[in-house]
């Protein structure tokens, strides 16, 4: 939990890649194409993720733990 609060307390800095194409808004769909994300450069959690969210859909990214206790 402490890591989450530290993350929420940080100033938001969004830096696009120098060759990133401009954002295009079309019919309300959102497309993620080859997305990489990390809380720090040393700790990436998404590696090349691609998917499309259609207008009106709700999507959640959930991490699966193979050896987690059953609820």
Q: Which sequence spans correspond to the domains of the chain?
A: 30-71
Q: Which residue has the tokens 């019919």?
A: 27
pLDDT recorded at residue 68: 60
Alpha helices in 1-71 (DSSP H): 2-9
Beta-carbon contacts of 17 under 8 Å, excluding residues fewer than 6 positions away, are none
Tens of pLDDT, residue by residue, the chain (71 residues): 788 788 788 887 777 888 988 877 778 888 889 999 888 888 888 899 999 999 889 998 887 777 666 65
pLDDT digits (tens, 9 = 90+) for 39-52: 888 888 889 999 99
């Amino acid at each position: 939990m402490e890591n989450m609060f530290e993350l929420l307390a940080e100033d938001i800095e969004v830096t696009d890649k120098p060759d990133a194409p401009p954002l295009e808004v079309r019919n309300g769909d959102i497309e993620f194409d080859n997305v990489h994300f990390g809380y720090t450069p040393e700790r990436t959690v998404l590696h090349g993720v691609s998917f499309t969210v259609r207008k009106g859909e709700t999507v959640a990214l959930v991490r699966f733990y193979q050896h987690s206790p059953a609820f």
